[in-house]
Structure 1
Amino acid sequence: MNKNHFKFWPPRLSKSLTIPKTTIYDNLVISTKKYPDKIAIHYYGRSITYTELLEEVEILAGYLKKKLGVEKQEKVLLFMQNSPQYLISFFAILRLRAVVVPINPMSTTQDLAFYVKDCDIKYAIIGEELYDNIVPLIKETSLNNIIVTSYSEYSGEYNENNDFKPNLANNNQKLSNVIFWKDALSETYQIDEYDGLEDDVAMIPYTSGTTGMPKGCIHPNRTIQANTVGASLWMNMTADAIPLLTLPLFHVTGLIHSALAPIQSGSTIVMMTRWDRDYAAKEMERHGCTHWINISTMLIDFLSNPNMNSYSLSSLQVIGGGGAPLPEAVGEQLYERTGLRYYEGYGLTETISHTHFNPPNRPKLQCLGIPSFDVDARVIDLATGSEVGPHELGELVVNGPQVFSGYYNREDENKVSHIEIDGKQFFRTGDIVKMDEEGYFFIVDRLKRMINASGFKVWPTEVEAILYKHPAVEQACVVSAPDKKRGETVKAFIILKTDFIGKIKEDEIIEWSKSQMAAYKYPRIIEFVESFPTTSSGKILWRELQEKS
């Protein structure tokens, strides 16, 4: 295990972390006891205290248990956008020692059928706008009870566009086993005292399926707690912190860094259901937001806002994220605007968010950071499995307290996704990285995304980082394209900055690229587009662009 990174560890922070034996649900109870009247959530003009939040969690848990019959370790599908109801549902499920199965709200009926069958799900709590996607499954699958909520039930005066207006209440097609949220919370049932354990399975989030069918990742309270507490300490999140929540809660980064860590700390969450750069800036100014964890595409959009200088961002203390490397040029733009350095992290669904953080006092741009508390991270040769030296490319493997218990019902994949080194089990991430002599890790790309151009390995992320240095480029996504001579060649989809639209041609960027990177790397094909397809968490769907090439 390389320990060079300890030289750059944040001052006055222990290098190891004792994980509490308490559960994620306990975190909410403890924070409520400590800060009963403190605001837990600001949501479009409405404020909810910790006491109010816990009371509604208890009421919903009672309904799920006594009315619907949800049992311990029963899997419950959570299918909605960011909202107070999401967190109320999340903790109510955990209150029963049942299992949260969080699903991307962009999922289709076919997607949902897979998840329901894979986990044998009988119960779901959903956002009203997703009703049509899930209701066909009631007769075709094990799903038989659905609680439906409209976000307008909790939004206040700042819901300026009336985005969350309910419609289902007037729908005569509502099935008998579909329950309205307000009806579920109108009944109070007494349930047994909570006796949850650290090894109870708490969540089964699904991987995005970038390397095949989605796989459920089994996470007990223990692994989730490791990153919840670790994130609070690393980001210096206290009860007086005010994080802005913009990443989706179904995604592990948004859940851990913008919800569970703040609740464990007793912080106040400023929650957004949908990304809107102007509204985000207004909320930062209105509430004095201190922390914002995002994704690079979200920050790029935020900084390109022509109205940016009209907002005060002086309250921000911590800004960072993961999911994709932040282009160096964007990081410098952020520093010029706010005086803050963006610090990136790295993680996976299998590790319930981060395994790596950049030290706040010494971050490096376009860098995954250094291993988090008690994480043993190594780089191994793709062919031999042996460790490689500094600056050599290889696959990242990790061992740590946040690593999942395994894929749900995927024994064969559990075997191939792990490797033993020095008597320890390491998870194989499938990400190609390199480590410098100081112990910082740098992403090169996904193993599956590599371009083989005339036998030369080209990593799209590296090419994208260089393209961002061109003054005309707002966003870039690099994919492979078929080539008769080279087998594959490099193609770049580019979104131009507004001032350059119609004033620059594709060939000009190709010529510029020749002087910036090796001959086998520079893009032979450039295509200007107005937008990229993205996931709801903001990741660019490069496979969709690949299919167009």
Structure 2
Amino acid sequence: MDAIPYRDGEKPLHEYLRQHAHAQPDKPVYIWYGRSLSYRELDDLSDRFAAKLHGIGVKKGDRVVLFLQNCPQYVIAHFGIQKLGAIVSPCSPLFKKHELEYQVGDLGAEVIVAADNLYPVVAEVLDKTRLRHVFLTSYSDFLPAQPTIDVLSEICTEKVRHADTLDFLDALNDVHETPPVPELSMDDVALMTYTSGTTGMPKGAMLTYRNALFKTACATHAGSVENGAMLLAVAPLYHIAGMLMGINVTIYSGATTVLMYRFDPLTVLQAIDSYKLTNWYSTVPMNVAVMQVPDAKKFNLQSLRINPCTSFGVTLTEPLAQQWRQFTGGCETFEAAYGLSESHTCDTYTPRDAIKWGTQGRPMPGVECRIVDQSTGKAVAPGEMGEITVRSAGNFKGYWNKPDATAATLRDGWIYTGDMGSLDADGYLTFSGRFKEMIKVSGYSVFPEEVESILIKHPAVKQAAVIGVPDPNKGEVIKAVIVLKPDHAASTSADDIIAWSREQMSTYKVPRTVEFRNELPATGTGKVLRRLLKDA
């Protein structure tokens, strides 16, 4: 099937922002707990940030790190960076020192935009990376005096300033020149999001302006998002799916998005009722939590029409979808998509008039999907299991500074995903699991080598291996298998390792359980055989 025509031609998404800023300048693009940010304001503020970056020496191709939760400043920085031809690289705000140091160091980044409450983590890596410019912002900076929906207390804190840093809003107000307009190609890299690829430590997936535009058109089509839509964005903007739905679709369609710092079920109900929201991208546990809010029936949810939903931990079933339809007064919910960072996600979609429950839908227009035998590389018959491969204008350019990993994943224009699945006779995809050893905890990708590289820093740990084990709520959780140093064996407990891990890594990466062994199963060359740990 031919690709979906672009609504106003092939150009970077920030040019769609400029277009809307001229055509509908006063229309709200984002509403942040009652504070409206217009298309004209977003275009102007992102221009100002581009000019500020240019003033401190940032140029086309440089990498700029974003280290903050959902907020208007995130979107301002995102487009300011891309307008300059520089590259956005999101870091999870759950990162601790080792994780941030790894990604910033791998990027060679010199500039970071961070939330002020995350500065202690940034400070720990300053002397271990090339960072020279730190922009700090407070989540309260854009909050209105009279919020229209509940504001979480964690973002109502006063701004905290630190020496040798730049205040984000002060920096924008201090700009008096227009930014340069670099020559850009649609194939220039605009985003680097870190992912496991097929194995190993996280790698920067290089995504282009074209990748973003193509998949944004796909997601907008799949979600039936029109200019008059009122959207809700609660998924993390630093995650590829949250970015696609919360930033790109908004700007492409010219719609208005109510942006939330993070998911809170009561506030979601308030937002839908107060703003008559029409579209929401969610995960299944979010829907379940919203339906469990006491007195939820007092909120009017009948404006909500379309709710693409991703199964993380809890599977979206037909009975659950019917329950949601009754709860909201008619909103349709369906499996959102199959996709991965390397393809800018959203490779499949569920046609609302032809839902097949238990599948991830069929390929987007313009996306080719095939299932191949891993040993021969040949396509398998419908219904047979194999490796999922995809090809489209959304395919990434490769991994940052990792040509071997790129060659293993990107072959003849196809992404070899390392995921296993099948296509039925009607072309519907069923995702069945991962050939690779990446672990999915509540939808977050966890790379065993990364957790192991942190665990080995514990003074009592001699060797560490990490595997995923099934969990009814989170899909998978982390299990660590550890060999202790002889002089620590008697004094170190599993609880000690878990408590230490909570201080050293993101919450979802912390081992749920720890098993001690005298040795780990390994090949003759010393490579740990994790599959034998799973079989044990």
Determine if the TM-score, normalized by the shorter chain, exceeds 0.5. Answer: yes
Letter in 2 for 1:356: T
- Asked if 1:433 is matched to 2:425, the reply is no
Structure 1 residues 293-304: aligned runs within 5 Å: 293-304=281-292
- Residues 1:313 and 1:129: Cα distance change in structure 2 (over 3 Å): same
Deviations, residues 472-520 of structure 1 (Å, cap 9, x unaligned) = xxxxxxxxxxxxxxxxxx9764469xxxxxxxxxxxxxxxxxxxxxxxx
- Asked if 1:185 is matched to 2:176, the reply is no
Q: Distance in 2 between matches of 1:133 and 1:22?
A: 37
- Residues 1:31 and 1:62: Cα distance change in structure 2 (over 3 Å): same
In structure 2, the residue matched to 1:112 is 100
Instruction: Tell me, yes or no, if the aligned pair for 1:351 and 1:404 is still in contact at 8 Å.
Output: yes
Match of 1:37 among 18, 26, 31: 26
In structure 2, the residue matched to 1:204 is 192
Instruction: Tell me, yes or no, if the aligned pair for 1:31 and 1:265 is still in contact at 8 Å.
Output: no
Structure 1 residues 123-272: aligned runs within 5 Å: 123-156=111-144, 157-158=146-147, 160-167=151-158, 169=160, 174-176=162-164, 178-190=165-177, 191-193=179-181, 195-207=183-195, 211-272=199-260
- Asked if 1:280 is matched to 2:268, the reply is yes
Q: Distance in 2 between matches of 1:460 and 1:54?
A: 36
Letter in 2 for 1:250: Y
Q: Distance in 2 between matches of 1:351 and 1:249?
A: 17
- Asked if 1:400 is matched to 2:383, the reply is no
In structure 2, the residue matched to 1:411 is 403
Identical-residue share of aligned pairs (%): 27
Which range moved further: 294-303 or 369-378? 294-303
Tell me by how many angstroms 1:321 deviates.
2.7
Instruction: Tell me, yes or no, if the aligned pair for 1:218 and 1:404 is still in contact at 8 Å.
Output: yes
Letter in 1 for 2:172: L
Deviations, residues 313-363 of structure 1 (Å, cap 9, x unaligned) = 111111013364733143332233233332221111111121000112222
In structure 2, the residue matched to 1:63 is 52
Q: Distance in 2 between matches of 1:209 and 1:398?
A: 14
In structure 1, the residue matched to 2:42 is 53
Tell me by how many angstroms 1:60 deviates.
1.6
- Asked if 1:341 is matched to 2:332, the reply is yes
Task: Find the residue that maps to 1:216 and give its secondary structure.
Answer: strand
Instruction: Tell me, yes or no, if the aligned pair for 2:316 and 2:334 is still in contact at 8 Å.
Output: no
What runs of 5+ residues in structure 2 fail to find an aligned partner? 443-467, 475-505, 516-533
Letter in 1 for 2:16: N
Structure 1 residues 453-492: aligned runs within 5 Å: none
Instruction: Tell me, yes or no, if the aligned pair for 1:78 and 1:102 is still in contact at 8 Å.
Output: yes
Task: Find the residue that maps to 1:427 and give its secondary structure.
Answer: strand
Q: Distance in 1 between matches of 2:90 and 2:438?
A: 30
- Asked if 1:27 is matched to 2:29, the reply is no
Letter in 2 for 1:44: Y
Q: Distance in 1 between matches of 2:441 and 2:131?
A: 41
Tell me by how many angstroms 1:545 deviates.
4.6
Which range moved further: 425-434 or 382-391? 382-391
Give the TM-score normalised by the residue count of structure 1. 0.77
Tell me by how many angstroms 1:107 deviates.
0.9
Match of 1:377 among 369, 386, 389: 369
Instruction: Tell me, yes or no, if the aligned pair for 1:17 and 1:230 is still in contact at 8 Å.
Output: yes
Letter in 2 for 1:361: D
Q: Distance in 2 between matches of 1:460 and 1:405?
A: 27
- Aligned residue-pair number: 451
- Asked if 1:330 is matched to 2:320, the reply is yes
In structure 2, the residue matched to 1:503 is none
- Asked if 1:16 is matched to 2:14, the reply is no
Instruction: Tell me, yes or no, if the aligned pair for 1:394 and 1:432 is still in contact at 8 Å.
Output: yes
In structure 2, the residue matched to 1:513 is none
- Residues 1:80 and 1:301: Cα distance change in structure 2 (over 3 Å): same
- Asked if 1:74 is matched to 2:65, the reply is no
Tell me by how many angstroms 1:146 deviates.
0.5
- Residues 1:90 and 1:251: Cα distance change in structure 2 (over 3 Å): same
Tell me by how many angstroms 1:229 deviates.
1.8
Task: Find the residue that maps to 1:185 and give its secondary structure.
Answer: helix
Give the TM-score normalised by the residue count of structure 2. 0.79
Letter in 2 for 1:332: Q
Q: Distance in 2 between matches of 1:220 and 1:38?
A: 28
Q: Distance in 2 between matches of 1:26 and 1:43?
A: 23
Deviations, residues 36-87 of structure 1 (Å, cap 9, x unaligned) = 1101111011111111111111122211111x21111110001110000000
Letter in 1 for 2:331: L
Task: Find the residue that maps to 2:332 and give its secondary structure.
Answer: coil
Deviations, residues 86-131 of structure 1 (Å, cap 9, x unaligned) = 0000011011111101111111111111111111000001111111
Letter in 1 for 2:324: L
In structure 1, the residue matched to 2:343 is 351
Task: Find the residue that maps to 2:204 and give its secondary structure.
Answer: coil
Which range moved further: 385-394 or 214-223? 385-394
Letter in 1 for 2:212: I
Task: Find the residue that maps to 1:379 and give its secondary structure.
Answer: strand
Q: Distance in 2 between matches of 1:437 and 1:545?
A: 41
Q: Distance in 2 between matches of 1:131 and 1:21?
A: 38
Match of 2:379 among 373, 377, 387: 387
Deviations, residues 274-321 of structure 1 (Å, cap 9, x unaligned) = 110000111011101111111222222223333332221111111013
- Residues 1:327 and 1:233: Cα distance change in structure 2 (over 3 Å): closer
In structure 2, the residue matched to 1:122 is 110
Deviations, residues 450-474 of structure 1 (Å, cap 9, x unaligned) = 99xxxxxxx999xxxxxxxxxxxxx
Tell me by how many angstroms 1:382 deviates.
2.6
What runs of 5+ residues in structure 1 fail to find an aligned partner? 1-5, 7-14, 452-458, 462-489, 497-538
Task: Find the residue that maps to 2:81 and give its secondary structure.
Answer: helix
- Asked if 1:90 is matched to 2:90, the reply is no
Taking only aligned residues, the RMSD between alpha carbons, in angstroms, comes to 2.8
Instruction: Tell me, yes or no, if the aligned pair for 1:379 and 1:435 is still in contact at 8 Å.
Output: yes
Which range moved further: 221-230 or 357-366? 357-366
Q: Distance in 2 between matches of 1:27 and 1:213?
A: 35
Which range moved further: 380-389 or 365-374? 380-389
Task: Find the residue that maps to 1:281 and give its secondary structure.
Answer: helix
- Residues 1:166 and 1:107: Cα distance change in structure 2 (over 3 Å): same
Instruction: Tell me, yes or no, if the aligned pair for 2:46 and 2:77 is still in contact at 8 Å.
Output: yes
